[in-house]
Amino acid sequence: MPLLSAKRLYAILIKLGFFVDRQRGSHVTLMHADGRRTTIAMHTGDMPKGTLNTILDEVKLTPDELRKLI
């Protein structure tokens, strides 16, 4: 699993067609036209691996697919 900041993951998801549905504080909820949805806490530093795994599950993206997009 690659180490990734929230800012970088946000940029990748935007390129994949996700858009900001709403934001509350540092938490940004992204949605895709096909109904996929996830929330990213826009904190500094690398995301914890468990959090990144959960987000990847929610957006139906495998770690290998993510590596290709980095």
pLDDT (0 to 100) of residue 70: 85
Which strands, in side-by-side order, build the sheet including 27-31?
19-24, 27-31, 37-41
Report pLDDT for 26. 94
DSSP strand pairing (19-24 vs 37-41): unpaired
Q: What is the dihedral of CA 13, 16, 21, 24, to 10 degrees?
A: 10
Predicted TM-score of the model (pTM): 0.89
The structural domains of the chain, ordered by start, are: 6-69 (3.30.920.30)
pLDDT in tens, 11-68: 999 999 999 999 999 999 999 999 999 999 999 999 999 999 999 999 999 988 999 9
User: What is the Cα–Cα distance from 18 to 59, expressed in whole angstroms?
Assistant: 9
